[in-house]
Amino acid sequence: MTGAMTEEFVQVACDLLQRGDTDALVSLEWEPRPDGPLSAWLDATLSLARAQGRTLAVTSALGIACAHILYPALAPGDLSVSAALDVRDVGGRLELIGPAGIDLAEQVLVDAPGLGLGLVEARWISPAEGGGGPFDPLVAARRLCPISAIEVVAPFGDHDEQRVAALNVARLFMSTEILGSCEHMMATAVTYAHDRVQFGQQIGTFQAVQHMLAGAEVHVRGLRSSIEMLVPRLGELRGLAALRHIAFLKALAGRTGHHVSQATLQVLGAIGFTEEHEHHRYEKRTLTLDALCGSNEQLALEIGRAAMRGETHLVAVP
Amino acid sequence: MPESVAPAEVLTATGPTMTHEEMRVEFRRWLLDAMPDLPASPAPGSSFGERLAAVCKLQGYLYEAGWARLGWPEHLGGFGGDARHRAVLYDELASAGFTSRCALEHLEILAPAVVAHWDASRSRKVLPGLMRGSDLWCQGFSEPDAGSDLISLRTTATRDGESYVLQGRKMWTSWASYAQRCVVLARTGDASQRHRGLSVFFVDLETEGIEVRALSQANGVDELAEVTFDEVRIPRERLVGQEGGGWQIALDVLACERSTFAWLRQARLQARADELALRVDGESAEQLGDVLIDLFALRMSSASAVERLADGQFLGPQAAPAKLLLTDAEQHLYDLARRVLGVDFAMGTSPAMADWQEEYLFSRATSIYGGTREMQLTTIARFLLDLPVAPRG
């Protein structure tokens, strides 16, 4: 059982974020172990991810976790780094899509097409033109930088495993954040179903409402069990086997996020569709997280194509 | 029995202390050696009786070699270990192509609850037969007027000296035509006692006064049956647990049917999905991926249930989500099969296609057996989400 799945631990992380703790990873006793398996420090990182999902907070945890792939001795506070793993080459410049922290970090870890993992100094990064931007600006930002500004620290080929590991960490983090977001949306809708009275009775007594929420809860529990069972068995995040398993998890998380967003909005009714209600913020967060590092549709396509090639990879559980 | 499937030396030496991780490695190694001498999986299009015979024969070999005894306590005739060992056995068998369990599914549905509640000296007499595949069990719960509303059942068990007399009728009893024993839920109190008036009995189906009538199903299989009890005299020692304590046993059985059973089922579904994947065209790749993601969630959730059972916990209402994940995964898989197989699916007459057709039709009932989808949703709403109950009247 990982700490990410221990309710008490997640609650501590939520409290830290709600108090505005700027270095929550340190407070959670994040302990990088240079020679140990990467999973050794996942507890604090994933607890924070889940708490971020519940509280809509933004931290640098994802960037630090990804950077830790390259710098195993990294400790919180050593480096102001963010990570942008969704990167496209747009006419000689790179379009970076990553956590909102890329605005604030001194350096950004990027997965540069055709080059490998690289670092970019913040001064080279400029806002993308055209406005619009990401669905949830609190989660992701879209920026541009010249390719020549990339300092490649892990080129393709020999260091592909580090790219895979960074992607694995990011997908795990985002899946767990979506779980936290879904848990919050469920809790809000269940409370509303108790409080809201229509036709002279609490709407939570109507079977149609009960079944809608129960159906969403099935998906939330499926995602929670999947994280609980998968994370302790990953052992090492660098391998392709882990990439395949985590792709399943990320796809499941994205699907779950959409399902829970819709079901809980339906229970909240019109009030849930107002700007002042928090629901749309959680929905936009799950939409954004699903879109980053492989949407559930993209990953389902990859998974399906791999199966058509006869590639089957079951996790050895229990 | 061929020499290669004789008692596994590694079990003779270390059986009771083998971890489930060690077991996975050792059993895989043993399977590789023994495979040529193991009974083959039934050919496509085999009758249900042929499939059951093949599964029971394989189980007998596994019992004699010791593997089927792992995961059960030594004092009940097992080799020690827990539900994780059994889960590994099923997982590795499925990987080797043995994906069907037929009536032996009751090793994971009925047996854990029966041995948890019954006197060990009694359990020890009946469990080895099921472990060996020579003595099959069935579950006598549902009745014509008590399906989802199980508490309304009418079959009675009246105390008469050192015996109970069973009177009533059970319906939709899986495997009863093929089983030798039936775990019967009957009313020992009056109807006003509701769930507190129910008890469980372990009944020999050849007992005088019992009639079993197979029910032919929509998918062409006669798995289900009607079992009639007409003044059937049952020794008192066949009362499982306490008189009036049957509801808790029933809940534990149902929890297994809705959760750990899903572990067995996912192995079969995964194998079928892998077969289907080789026939899918590019346009359906994403749908195939979605089905595989369903199966991933099912595998993880049911593995979690196995771990809970291994720690001595029956899931209770928490089993309901696992059953619904199974329902979705199974129905989505066979929906995809119907689309991919096209006209062959509807009109094909080959043995392989007959299997797909039969399994598709069975998958439609996944949202009914073991408690309907609607019952599971209501259970989740009431007991896991704590939603309010509608005022009566």
Quick check: B256 and B141 in contact, CB under 8 A?
Answer: no
SS3 A81: strand
DSSP letters of A173-207? HHHHHHHHHHHHHHHHHHHHHHH-EETTEEGGGSH
In angstroms, the Cα distances linking B179 to B49, B134, B204 are: 12, 10, 9
| Structure tokens given for B261 | 């059973």
Give A242: exposed, middle or buried? Use CB within 10 Å, 0-12, 13-18, 19+: buried
Same domain for B273 and B374, yes or no, is yes
CA atoms of A104 and A163, how far apart (whole Å): 23
How high is the pLDDT of residue A3? 57
Partnered with residue A112 across adjacent β-strands are A116
CA atoms of B179 and B183, how far apart (whole Å): 11
Indicate if the pLDDT at residue A178 is higher than 50: yes
Whether B389 maps to a domain, the answer reads no
CA distance to partner chain A, nearest, from residue B207 (Å): 40
CATH number, domain with residue B339: 1.20.140.10
Contacts A–B by Cβ distance under 8 A: 156
Same domain for B232 and B282, yes or no, is no
How high is the pLDDT of residue B12? 67
Q: What is the mean pLDDT of residues A126-141?
A: 76
Indicate if the pLDDT at residue A1 is higher than 50: no
Whole-structure pTM value: 0.94
Residue of B84, B292, B388 lying closest to A202 (CB–CB): B388
Closest by Cα among A139, A140, A143 to A127:
A143
Taking only residues 163 to 192 of chain B, the set having a beta carbon closer than 8 angstroms to any beta carbon of chain A reads: none
* Residue B208 is a catalytic residue: no
A119's enclosing H/E stretch is strand A116-121
pLDDT band for position A39 (cuts 50, 70, 90): low
Same domain for B268 and B291, yes or no, is yes
Least confidently predicted of A42-46, A301-305, B209-213: A42-46
Residues 6+ apart with CB under 8 A from B245: B117, B199, B200
CA atoms of A278 and A13, how far apart (whole Å): 20
Indicate if the pLDDT at residue A113 is higher than 60: yes
Q: Which of B99, B116, B149 is the last residue of a domain?
A: B99
Whether B131 maps to a domain, the answer reads no
- Is A225–B301 a contact, with Cβ atoms under 8 angstroms apart? yes
Same domain for B237 and B328, yes or no, is no
Q: For chain A, what are the domain ranges?
A: 3-70, 81-155, 160-308
Which of the pair, A150 or B101, is modelled with greater confidence? A150
Q: Give per-residue pLDDT as tens, B246-272.
A: 999 999 999 999 988 999 999 999 999
- Is B289–A305 a contact, with Cβ atoms under 8 angstroms apart? yes
* Count of the separate structural domains present in chain B: 3
Mutate which of B70, B367, B385 to disrupt the A interface (most A C-beta within 10 Å)? B385
Mutate which of B283, B293, B333, B378 to disrupt the A interface (most A C-beta within 10 Å)? B293
Whether B250 maps to a domain, the answer reads no
> Which residue range is the domain that position B185 belongs to?
138-244
Residues 6+ apart with CB under 8 A from A292: A85, A86, A97, A98, A140, A170, A174
Whether B51 maps to a domain, the answer reads yes
Annotated catalytic residue: which of B211, B257, B283, B359? B257
Least confidently predicted of A41-50, A144-153, A200-209, B52-61: A41-50
Return the percentage of chain B with pLDDT > 90, whole number. 79
User: Residue B309's closest chain A neighbor by CA?
Assistant: A318
- Is A229–B300 a contact, with Cβ atoms under 8 angstroms apart? yes
Same domain for B279 and B333, yes or no, is yes
CA atoms of B296 and A307, how far apart (whole Å): 13
Q: What is the CATH number of domain A81-155?
A: 2.40.110
Indicate if the pLDDT at residue A33 is higher than 60: no
Average pLDDT, chain A: 87
- The angle at the Cα of B246, spanning B127 to B318, to the nearest 5 degrees, equals 85
Q: Does B2 touch chain A (CB under 8 A)?
A: no
Amino acid at A259: H
Indicate if the pLDDT at residue A283 is higher than 80: yes
CA distance to partner chain A, nearest, from residue B135 (Å): 28
B203's enclosing H/E stretch is strand B198-204
Same domain for B230 and B264, yes or no, is no
How high is the pLDDT of residue B107? 94
CATH number, domain with residue B146: 2.40.110.10
Same domain for B263 and B369, yes or no, is yes
CA atoms of B350 and A289, how far apart (whole Å): 46
Q: Which of B244, B277, B307 is the last residue of a domain?
A: B244
- Is A304–B292 a contact, with Cβ atoms under 8 angstroms apart? yes
Could you give the residue ranges of the DSSP H alpha helices within chain A? 7-18, 24-27, 42-55, 61-70, 160-195, 207-234, 240-268, 279-291, 296-308
Residue of B24, B278, B321 lying closest to A316 (CB–CB): B24
- Is A218–B274 a contact, with Cβ atoms under 8 angstroms apart? no
Same domain for B311 and B375, yes or no, is yes
CA torsion angle for B99, B293, A211, A216 (degrees, to 10)? 140
- Is B374–A211 a contact, with Cβ atoms under 8 angstroms apart? yes
Residue of B288, B303, B380 lying closest to A318 (CB–CB): B303
Q: Give per-residue pLDDT as tens, B193-247.
A: 888 999 999 999 999 999 999 998 898 888 899 999 999 999 999 999 999 999 9
How high is the pLDDT of residue B102? 85
Same domain for B270 and B228, yes or no, is no
Q: What is the CATH number of domain A160-308?
A: 1.20.140.10
pLDDT band for position B69 (cuts 50, 70, 90): very high
Residues in chain B: 393
Q: Give per-residue pLDDT as tens, B288-330.
A: 999 999 999 999 999 999 999 999 999 999 999 999 999 999 9
How high is the pLDDT of residue A251? 98
Average pLDDT, chain B: 93
Same domain for B338 and B229, yes or no, is no
Give the orientation angle of helix A296-308 with respect to helix A240-268, to 10 degrees.
140
Same domain for B144 and B89, yes or no, is no
- Is B385–A302 a contact, with Cβ atoms under 8 angstroms apart? no
- Is A308–B280 a contact, with Cβ atoms under 8 angstroms apart? yes
Indicate if the pLDDT at residue A100 is higher than 90: no
Return the percentage of chain B with pLDDT > 70, whole number. 96
User: Residue B281's closest chain A neighbor by CA?
Assistant: A308
Which of the pair, B127 or A67, is modelled with greater confidence? B127
Q: Does B321 touch chain A (CB under 8 A)?
A: yes
Same domain for B239 and B268, yes or no, is no
